Structure 1
């Protein structure tokens, strides 16, 4: 190994170490910051953005802050997939709007008010906005859409896990429909691949094998869903009758794989199960961290298939810390 290479490697390691020391700690930071690992120095962030060819996602936040600020940190900036999207696709920067010094300088630079509710701006490495400023909208959906828009504006492909997150956030008032078929494993794989379908669940109604379909009515009408089901030899069942789930058969194809050891959203489960049943690729449905976890799964890993997504995510993080 040449001395020049050793020196380059040493400088790289030291720069990464210094950068890590300048980030916030998701496990020991104010609730207003959520679970994102934020950088705090504007100049360092712009240098890093140029080096990595990334845009910068700036959170202007009151820390400590009012209930709106705390709720945004707890409900939006702590969602595991939003954290993934921010940390992997952008350089995250937090500016406290109730502090002096360098924070106050950046507030003035962007003409942001002090002691204000959360504001998000996505800027390029020159500090210019690439999408509209997010203010007075504290929803996860708005942030997700802005992330998508910024990636598209940069000429990048939006990762599928971010698109799935948007679908789930859009499907806040879903409808349900019930279809009977000769085999509900087949029913789940065929119905689950429809873009409007948010979840499928195998079960029984009057001893018939049935799939309960949760779907977004704004993306697909009931008539269109019925027509699709009929074309796949499925019959419509009155949804007022008693549906009895069959846990061992729900997402059957997924349950036969090591995906059961991963924290997955309901939509991820549905799409992965359908893809497995149809012999299609699956890993693109996962975030970068989920893909890493999939490679590290061991036989003694905890089954997380039926665990709440956020709780499962926390458990998986803790499990790997002990390895």
Structure 2
């Protein structure tokens, strides 16, 4: 949140109940000297990009207003800000893949273009990798083929009937439904490839963590492509 503000806005703090320039600024924008904190988004001429609103004091609604202001100004919204606002970049689907080791599953499946996030877990007596993917980029039958090619699809657990049809189309025979018995692995087993690397010290979005985990040890230069410029600087 702080980096998004620093990179895409010019933050200005105006104090309440102060004389001088602070008081003059409050008067200019019709803000009472005693009010609670208000965040306003202004253009270069001092006009509101989005309507004034008070009582916005938590990250998610603030991020949503930041996005609205950027859109009004014709600016691109950084992916990490969308994540804070709870906005998914695309309509995604979920499925789980069984393999001999979910540490490997998260790494190899995370490298596939179109895979958005991964999670290590357990299901049906197997270690599995729960995958969230964008079917507009990666049709499910292609995901099954690619997961099979990297030996991470001993079994496929689907969340829709369409996925089951596509998995069979891809030639996979061990296909069944993903039901309520799934449970995530402990935190110590999540994103194992990141542990002990400089990437582990960064605050990452779920997608960033997935992609960094996929490449941190084998191709760190690719992992860095999913970071913001500020995050890359912190690696040095």
What TM-score does the superposition give when structure 1 sets the normalisation length? 0.48
- The corresponding residue for 1:182 is 99
CA contact (8 A) 2:121 2:128 kept: yes
Give the TM-score normalised by structure 2: 0.62
Structure 1 counterpart of 2:154: none
Q: 160, 166, 169: which is aligned to 1:223? A: 160
| 2:50 corresponds to | 131
Q: CA deviation at 1:256?
A: 8.3
The 5-angstrom pairing of residues 36-47 of structure 1 reads none
- Richer in helix (by share): 1
Contact 2:111 2:215 in 1 (8 A): no
Flag the structure with more relative contact order, 1 or 2, with Cα contacts below 8 A and sequence separation at least 6.
2
- Distance in 2 (CA, whole Å) between partners of 1:137 and 1:88 is 21
With over 3 angstroms needed to count, the CA separation of the structure-2 counterparts of 1:148 and 1:170, relative to structure 1, is closer
Aligned position for 1:42? none
Matched position secondary structure for 1:122? coil
Asked whether 1:146 is paired with 2:65, we answer yes
Could you tell me which residue of structure 2 aligns to residue 52 of structure 1?
Answer: none
Instruction: List gaps (5 residues or longer) in structure 2.
Output: 134-158
RMSD: 4.1
Q: Deviations over 1:101-142 (max 9, x none)?
A: 322211111111232122111112321222222323333222
Instruction: Spell out, residue by residue over 1:149-189, the C-alpha distance to the aligned partner (whole angstroms, 9 max, x if none).
Output: 333333333233223333xx458xxxx97724235444642
Secondary structure at the aligned position of 2:80 is classed as helix
Change in 2 beyond 3 A, CA 1:194/1:291: same
Distance in 1 between residues matched to 2:162 and 2:32, nearest whole Å? 48
Counterpart for residue 294 of structure 1: 235
Q: 1:105: which partner in 2?
A: 24
Q: What residue ranges of structure 1 are gaps of 5+ in the alignment?
A: 1-81, 216-221, 296-323
